[in-house]
Structure 1
Amino acid sequence: AGGICIAQSLKIPHEHKPSDFDKIIRQLLDTRYARTVVLFASDEDIRGILNASKRADQVGHFLWIGSDSWGSKNSPIHQLEDAAVGAITILPKRATISGFDAYFMSRTLENNRRNVWFAEYWEENFNCKLMSSSKKDDSSRKCTGQERIGVDSKYEQEGKVQFVIDAVYAMAHALHNMQRDLCPDVSGICPEMELAGGKKLLKYIRSVSFNGSAGTSVTFNRNGDAPGRYDLFQYQRSNGTGSGYRAVGQWTETLQLNMEELRWPRGEQDVPVSVCSLPCRAGQRKKVVKGMPCCWHCEPCDGYQFQADEFSCKLCAYNMRPGANRTSCRPIPIIKLEWHSPWAVIPVFLAMLGIIATIFVMATFVRYNDTPIVRASGRELSYVLLTGIFLCYIITFLMIAKPDVGVCSFRRVFLGLGMCISYAALLTKTNRIYRIFEQGKKSVTAPRLISPTSQLAIAFSLISVQLLGVLVWFGVDPPNTVVDFDEQRTIDPELARGVLKCDITDLQIICSLGYSILLMVTCTVYAIKTRGVPENFNEAKPIGFTMYTTCIVWLAFIPIFFGTAQSAEKLYIQTSTLTVSMNLSASVALGLLYVPKVYVIIFHPELNVQKRKRSFKAVVTAATMSSRLSHKAADRPNGEAKTELCENLEPNSESRGSGRPATLMFITRMV
């Protein structure tokens, strides 16, 4: 009440020892910031508390407030003045009743008739012994009976005399009013009054109102308390005037305190603060100690919590984080992969080099479109393959660009399309080679669908599967952007970031690339099957090396991509890994399949000439005989077989001078 809260309520044992007071001081220090101690204790107990504070070296720490039992007496603080400095005490306002002094000082052993304790008081006041049954020891002198109060002893009117007189008058007024109400026609006590009981008498006592012995009004409130009238004192020590109690205010219905007159221990200038717990800082909640409503522990709102009110913390919304002082929430910053980031610079640099190289190769092929090397490499599928390689490089820029609906749409289309085009063209080539030589083992008839038009049709049919899958993806889940607040939701909210990205999951990325990977694996299988074909006839071996290297690249990509799924750097690592893997795949195909051809076209044009034309029958026969001779040579432990292929320019022409058809001859030389 009144803004006052009790941190602790301690009792002084009835039979106490010095250790009991030491324990009380230790308990008071548990709530160290609650410095004010209100004492309702006897003089002896007050001395015990002050002594214990000195033993604990806490002089000046506690601010004592003494009840009227302390008042302005010197006995509780004798030789403990330093521990009592700053203590504020109260004493009921009182007036000296002059008639009482005259009456009491005239009392003697002879004229006392009704005070049964007067003889005991006489012995204590004059330090003498009246009778053998007295409690005074035998060494005390005998009382003569001629002693006089105030003459032979020091006398000072007891401060509560006024209140005793007023209490007697209050009882008298209550009985008078009660008799008047219950016995209006009877003088004295009537039966109704005898049976009234204490509760009814208390009601009359609380209802009295009269002027007391000091001329002040005597009334009681509904709780039975008389109006409080107190003088306030503070025990002060001054070098000039010495130590003593100094009046600093009073209470008469309201507090009147002279702040300029107050002096505090330890020389404090401002009014000392006494609280059980210091106020919590911003961003901290109060955890109230059970049974002590004004005492609490301050607990910080941690993680993504903010201080909702004085006693609770609440979690910020998923897209928010607590402010600097944790009293509110603020939006989490949104980031994306920036062009200047090292995770983007390297893939972009590789992609730019690849695009320049691809354009250069394509321009070279267009410029020398009708030369033997370009024609022999299968011009139609070469341009398809170069287009796929170009798209593999282009996807790097789409993966790093700021996500929006348009960018996300292009990502879905081109993410797997470049690889699909590349490996569809390579698969068509390797499949053609495989079918030609497999057919040659059975007959000299050329297999179906090996013409350039057929090859393009096969390649585009394979590519259409990827495009169909993308169209279905668009229909089922339209492209959109999302902000992922979980990816970089760090323990420290200050480091938390929302990641702006396309609404494409890791599984969807793998599914989009899955068809291309299937084409790549199938192409690798055909490359392995055609590895024994003589390199003079086709690109089987360069394609094989390309596919082996590409498989290694993507085998390294998969664990890196999925292994970083829980990393805070997931956006950067996965994007960089994906784009670098696609750049490397395109670069491997470009380097192994086209760089040697471009080198010959530009630097050795003398090699870019028409060679002897081979019929399908000649090609098949050569491949079959080469395979057989290789097996025979392997059966000769001490020799090596070397095969030389000789062909006429026109397989169907007649040999000069012989009139016989030209034949394909193999000369095996034993070394």
Structure 2
Amino acid sequence: VQFVIDAVYAMAHALHDMHLDLCPGAPGLCERMDPVDGRTLLHYIRGVTFNGSAGTPVMFNENGDAPGRYDIFQYQLTNTTVPGYKAIGQWTEYLRLNIEEMQWSGGQQDIPSSVCSLPCGPGERKKMVKGVSCCWHCELCDGYQYQLDEFTCETCPFDMRPSPNRTACRPTPIVKLEWSSPWAVLPVCLAMGGILGTTFVVVTFVRHNDTPIVRASGRELSYVLLTGIFLIYAITFLMIAEPGVVVCAARRLFLGLGMALSYSALLTKTNRIYRIFEQGKKAVTPPRFISPTSQLAITFSLSAVQLVGTLAWLGALPPHSVIDYEEQRVPNPEAARGVLKCDMSDLSLICCLGYSLLLMVTCTVYAVKARGVPETFNEAKPIGFTMYTTCIVWLAFVPIFFGTAQSAEKIYIQTTTLTVSMSLSASVSLGMLYVPKVYVIIFHPEQNVAKRKRSFKAAATAVSASTRLSQKGSERQNGADAAPASK
């Protein structure tokens, strides 16, 4: 009934407004309203505004529709009344909601979310639920991925890593072995101590160059050996220095050269001793190539193999520095680093040292062969102890170096292991071969006197006598063992 009454009033208000416009001041219908035009009347009906029978405004929009009016009810359970619907708001062009009158399951006060899925956070992509257009699951972009758009995760370029919230990519930090790093402190200290010790030995030998101990040690080969020892210590500083074209070229050149010089000199000296006393068992004529000039020629010839090989390597593959992003590309992108290093693989490094290690092994073999030479004639035993200890050092180096190939700290562990092993091997040579001589020169100069010089013939006679005594001792022992058996 209310809507019928409001409709009649709407017609009445429209006719009244129309009469005021078309027939101003005239009673009844005028010519302009006789007959009434339906389109004109509709225009005036859409323009009326008045309070209806219920006291609510009556009006029409541009489409001729009256505004909707809705009461909002909520089904509630209360302790005082029976369950039923209760008005909690109204809609008349805008929402009027009495939140205090609303009730929710569990007694909560806040309005629950009425959505299928919540918005995804930064670094998460939407994975739509099949068959449900407005529902999705949020998936975090993992690994080295970042959020490209709301539906896609994309992997960062190889030299970049995702930002903490995975919304963009950022450059991966570049690291190298720093001088202040704990991994560099021990090698640098060993190298500096070794360089000072080597320099002190060289100065002492130069100042006492014409004394018997220095002459007896073979001055020419001694200075070559000390030069090699100095280069072995110095390579530590090149291995820790910031990689560049010059540093990388110097690493290739001097990494194996110092060891090649040292072990070439030791091998030449040991071979000379072995050949002299092997020749003494057969004849009284000296073997060939035992003069100082010949010894230097042999030493430099052996060292030249390392030098020529290194120069050929430098010519075929020019040195340069690279940034290795794979070495420290750990599962956690925040810990990822790019390593600045020279373009030397583990294999090429071992090949660079391979010739020096071959010289070391060969020298050890000759030291073993010369172990029976009388110690009053040579320094074969100190050289032997030096080579045995050096072999132990490098045998320990190999498993440590290759055992850390997959470690995130590979660059630090391998560099430290290599430099410490080289410094230790140089220290063994310096300590066993030259420290005793320097000690006598400085603290016991009375012992630094010329001893009776033996000719090669006398040396050969002594070796033959020593051999005969050893054979007789063996025969007596065999006879003593055979006598009880015959009884």
- Distance, in Å, in 2 between the alignment partners of 1:216 and 1:264 is 37
Q: Are the aligned partners of 2:72 and 2:91 in contact in 1 as well (CA < 8 Å)?
A: no
Instruction: Give the match for residue 258 of structure 1.
Output: 95
Q: TM-score, normalised by structure 2?
A: 0.81
Instruction: Give the match for residue 302 of structure 2.
Output: 462
Q: 5 Å matches for 1:108-507? A: 230-235=68-73, 244-245=86-87, 248-250=90-92, 256-259=93-96, 264-265=102-103, 273-507=113-347
Alpha-carbon distance, 1:99 to partner: 13
Query: Once the two structures are superposed, what CA deviation does each residue of 1:516-556 show, in whole Å capped at 9, x if it has no partner?
Result: 00100111111111111111111111111111111111111
Q: Are the aligned partners of 2:227 and 2:258 in contact in 1 as well (CA < 8 Å)?
A: yes
Query: Once the two structures are superposed, what CA deviation does each residue of 1:201-259 show, in whole Å capped at 9, x if it has no partner?
Result: xxxxxxxx9999xx889xxxxxxxx9796322112799xxx984366224xxxxx2134
Q: Are the aligned partners of 2:440 and 2:447 in contact in 1 as well (CA < 8 Å)?
A: yes
Q: Are the aligned partners of 2:72 and 2:89 in contact in 1 as well (CA < 8 Å)?
A: yes
Distance 1:608 1:247, change over 3 A: closer
- Distance, in Å, in 2 between the alignment partners of 1:259 and 1:430 is 106
1:626 and 2:463 aligned: no
- Secondary structure of the 1:469 match is helix
- Secondary structure of the 1:96 match is helix
Alpha-carbon distance, 1:273 to partner: 4.2
- Secondary structure of the 2:69 match is strand
The letter for the 2-side match of 1:248 is Q
Alpha-carbon distance, 1:365 to partner: 0.6
Distance 1:231 1:591, change over 3 A: same
- Secondary structure of the 1:277 match is coil
Equivalent of 2:400, from 560, 573, 578? 560
- Secondary structure of the 2:371 match is coil
Alpha-carbon distance, 1:485 to partner: 1.0
Alpha-carbon distance, 1:635 to partner: 2.8
Q: TM-score, normalised by structure 1?
A: 0.59
Distance 1:99 1:423, change over 3 A: closer
Query: Once the two structures are superposed, what CA deviation does each residue of 1:302-341 show, in whole Å capped at 9, x if it has no partner?
Result: 1111111101111111111110111001111111111122
1:97 and 2:37 aligned: no
Instruction: Give the match for residue 433 of structure 2.
Output: 593
The letter for the 2-side match of 1:245 is A
Q: Are the aligned partners of 1:633 and 1:639 in contact in 2 as well (CA < 8 Å)?
A: no
- Distance, in Å, in 2 between the alignment partners of 1:210 and 1:550 is 116
- Secondary structure of the 1:500 match is strand
- Distance, in Å, in 1 between the alignment partners of 2:108 and 2:388 is 86
Instruction: Give the match for residue 542 of structure 1.
Output: 382
Query: Once the two structures are superposed, what CA deviation does each residue of 1:9-57 show, in whole Å capped at 9, x if it has no partner?
Result: xxxxxxxxxxxxxxxxxxxxxxxxxxxxxxxxxxxxxxxxxxxxxxxxx
Distance 1:245 1:216, change over 3 A: farther
Q: Are the aligned partners of 2:103 and 2:109 in contact in 1 as well (CA < 8 Å)?
A: no
Distance 1:365 1:493, change over 3 A: same
1:574 and 2:409 aligned: no
The letter for the 1-side match of 2:275 is R
Alpha-carbon distance, 1:623 to partner: 1.3
- Distance, in Å, in 2 between the alignment partners of 1:382 and 1:340 is 35
Q: Are the aligned partners of 1:600 and 1:608 in contact in 2 as well (CA < 8 Å)?
A: yes
- Secondary structure of the 2:472 match is helix
- Distance, in Å, in 2 between the alignment partners of 1:439 and 1:458 is 19
Q: 5 Å matches for 1:602-613? A: 602-613=442-453
- Secondary structure of the 2:125 match is strand
The letter for the 2-side match of 1:301 is C
Q: Matched residues, percent identical? A: 67
Alpha-carbon distance, 1:422 to partner: 0.3
Task: Please report the RMSD computed on the Cα atoms of aligned residues, expressed in angstroms.
Answer: 2.9
Instruction: Give the match for residue 76 of structure 1.
Output: none
Query: Once the two structures are superposed, what CA deviation does each residue of 1:106-131 show, in whole Å capped at 9, x if it has no partner?
Result: xxxxxxxxxxxxxxxxxxxxxxxxxx
Alpha-carbon distance, 1:435 to partner: 1.6
Alpha-carbon distance, 1:457 to partner: 0.7
Q: Are the aligned partners of 1:231 and 1:247 in contact in 2 as well (CA < 8 Å)?
A: no
Equivalent of 2:364, from 520, 524, 535? 524
Distance 1:548 1:268, change over 3 A: closer
Distance 1:447 1:637, change over 3 A: closer
- Secondary structure of the 1:432 match is helix
- Distance, in Å, in 2 between the alignment partners of 1:614 and 1:464 is 34
Alpha-carbon distance, 1:442 to partner: 2.6
Aligned residues: 422
Q: Which has the higher helix share?
A: 2
Alpha-carbon distance, 1:287 to partner: 1.0
Query: Once the two structures are superposed, what CA deviation does each residue of 1:411-465 show, in whole Å capped at 9, x if it has no partner?
Result: 1111111110000000110111122122222322111111111111111111111
The letter for the 1-side match of 2:71 is F
Instruction: Give the match for residue 58 of structure 1.
Output: none
- Distance, in Å, in 2 between the alignment partners of 1:99 and 1:608 is 136
- Secondary structure of the 1:395 match is helix
- Distance, in Å, in 2 between the alignment partners of 1:528 and 1:470 is 30
The letter for the 2-side match of 1:476 is A
Distance 1:523 1:211, change over 3 A: farther
Which moves more between the two structures, 577-586 or 613-622?
A: 613-622
The letter for the 2-side match of 1:373 is I
Task: Note the residue ranges of structure 1 that are not aligned, 5 or more in a row.
Answer: 1-93, 101-208, 218-225, 251-255, 641-671
Query: Once the two structures are superposed, what CA deviation does each residue of 1:342-372 show, in whole Å capped at 9, x if it has no partner?
Result: 2111111111111111111111111110000
Distance 1:521 1:294, change over 3 A: same
- Distance, in Å, in 1 between the alignment partners of 2:66 and 2:383 is 108
Distance 1:431 1:278, change over 3 A: same
Query: Once the two structures are superposed, what CA deviation does each residue of 1:262-301 show, in whole Å capped at 9, x if it has no partner?
Result: 6654599987642211111101111111111211111111
Distance 1:99 1:352, change over 3 A: closer
- Secondary structure of the 1:287 match is strand
Instruction: Give the match for residue 21 of structure 1.
Output: none
- Secondary structure of the 1:233 match is strand
- Distance, in Å, in 1 between the alignment partners of 2:404 and 2:268 is 35
- Secondary structure of the 1:234 match is strand
